Amino acid sequence: MEENSEVTQPLLPPASRSQTKALEAALLGGERTLKRRDVAAGAGVSLLSARKIWRAMGFPNLGDDDVAFTQRDQDALGIVVSMVREGLLTEETAISVTRSIGQMTDRMAVWQIEALVEDLVAEHGVSDAEARRAVVSELPNLIGPLEELLIYSYRRQLNAGLQRLAVRAHEGLAASALGRDGDEDDTPLPLARAVGFADLVSYTSLSRRMNEKTLAKLVQRFENVCAEIISVGGGRLVKTIGDEVLFNCETPVAGAQISLALAEAMAADDFLPEARVAMVWGRVLSRLGDIYGPTVNLAARLTSLAQPGTVLIDSVTATALAGDERFILTELPMEQVRGFGEIRPVLLQRGSGQGIVVD
């Protein structure tokens, strides 16, 4: 079918003020009728304690005379307070858990709205501004299904976290004995993990030449490919920072398989540039959904040393993988690595076997 530049898609009707108000009432559980002191008193907690919880959730500061809350806000505040009073959580832990919910759902909501806007722009040919006004009309039919998916996914992810916590694979335990910090009872960093980075080559120069839509497509494709490979490989995508992903997993073998699959996927993708990848087996500190420690820093340093399309590991990680026919290990010349002194990188390549298959 030939394109006709004169034919335009009908404009989407913008949401009316009444639609916006009705959607807010549906999301908040009713109209705003309560002030912050009302909510705190109803939950049986001081205003100071209530403000700590609201800040953890990411709420803006409000004045005493602002009518900004509903009964559902009071109920939610009461849930957090009850967990502390019943001894299920300390106040500090309750604040930390609440902050995790606030930060993750904030990012999720922004992500979902942006996806809806992009869809309206692509499907209806409207401007970004028009699409954002029209999203309010699209949301009511999606809130229920998305909420159900959120609860389902949370329970599945929580179960996966419990499995990682309670069921340490035999391979992971065996490799842990080869860790760089000795016995896990004697180290300040208790978790033995494979930590990896994948970094797109020439992202900065590419981003300067690309228009906004093409750059967004590249970043989204990169995140999608990485997320699929890491998930299928049994790892966890810790975070994405523009052109770079950080992941971890339970064993050095899983880390090696994911790393090789990431490098191979980027090299085979006609749209994406190649990636530099590095992986280190060692101990980490897990806090606030992120991971910290020298292992993470060393993996980041090795990533910057890797050639496009290759995977680097260090000598300790190579020892944990030695003898496994699925991998070819090639020692490279010593490198001076900031913060670590002299490090001997090891090139990781695929040996026998197919590796990770993303169907």
Give the rounded distance of the alpha carbon of 125 from its chain centre. Answer: 31
* Matching residue, tokens 């909510």: 39
Give the rounded distance of the alpha carbon of 106 from its chain centre. Answer: 12
**For residue 248, with 0-12 CB atoms within 10 Å meaning exposed, 13-18 middle and 19 or more buried, which class applies?**
buried
Cβ-Cβ contacts under 8 Å for 177 (sequence gap 6 or more)? none
In the chain, where are the structural domains located? 17-163, 170-350
- The class of domain 170-350 in CATH terms is alpha beta
- Name the phi and psi angles at 95, rounded to 5: -65, -40
- Sheet strands (E) in 201-326: 236-241, 244-249, 275-287, 290-292, 311-313
Write down the pLDDT at residue 168.
Answer: 52
Q: Other C-beta atoms within 10 Å of 284: how many?
A: 23
Write down the pLDDT at residue 161.
Answer: 77
Q: Other C-beta atoms within 10 Å of 238: how many?
A: 20
Q: Tell me if 195 sits within 8 A of 299, measured CB to CB.
A: yes
Q: What is the pLDDT along the chain (359 residues), one digit of tens a residue?
A: 344 444 444 455 566 678 788 888 889 999 999 999 999 999 999 999 999 999 888 888 888 999 999 999 999 999 999 999 999 999 999 998 998 898 889 889 988 988 898 888 888 888 888 888 888 888 888 999 999 999 999 999 888 877 766 555 444 445 554 555 554 445 556 678 999 999 998 877 777 777 777 887 888 888 889 989 998 898 889 998 878 999 999 889 999 999 999 999 999 998 888 999 999 999 988 887 788 999 999 999 999 999 999 999 999 999 999 999 999 999 999 998 988 999 999 999 999 988 887 76
* Matching residue, tokens 């020692």: 331
**Spatial distance between the Cα atoms of 347 and 5, rounded to a whole number of angstroms:** 52
Q: Tell me if 306 sits within 8 A of 346, measured CB to CB.
A: no
Q: Tell me if 39 sits within 8 A of 74, measured CB to CB.
A: yes
**Spatial distance between the Cα atoms of 117 and 138, rounded to a whole number of angstroms:** 10
**Spatial distance between the Cα atoms of 76 and 59, rounded to a whole number of angstroms:** 13
List the structure tokens of 247: 């992941």
- Name the phi and psi angles at 250, rounded to 5: -75, -30
List the structure tokens of 125: 């040919």
**Spatial distance between the Cα atoms of 108 and 151, rounded to a whole number of angstroms:** 13
Angle at 101 between CA 62 and CA 105, to 5 degrees: 85
**Spatial distance between the Cα atoms of 354 and 226, rounded to a whole number of angstroms:** 18
Residue 123: HSE in the Cβ half-sphere, 13 Å Cα cutoff: 9
Task: Look at residues 209, 196, 200, 176 and name the one whose alpha carbon lies nearest to residue 316.
Answer: 176
Q: Tell me if 336 sits within 8 A of 233, measured CB to CB.
A: no
Write down the pLDDT at residue 217.
Answer: 82
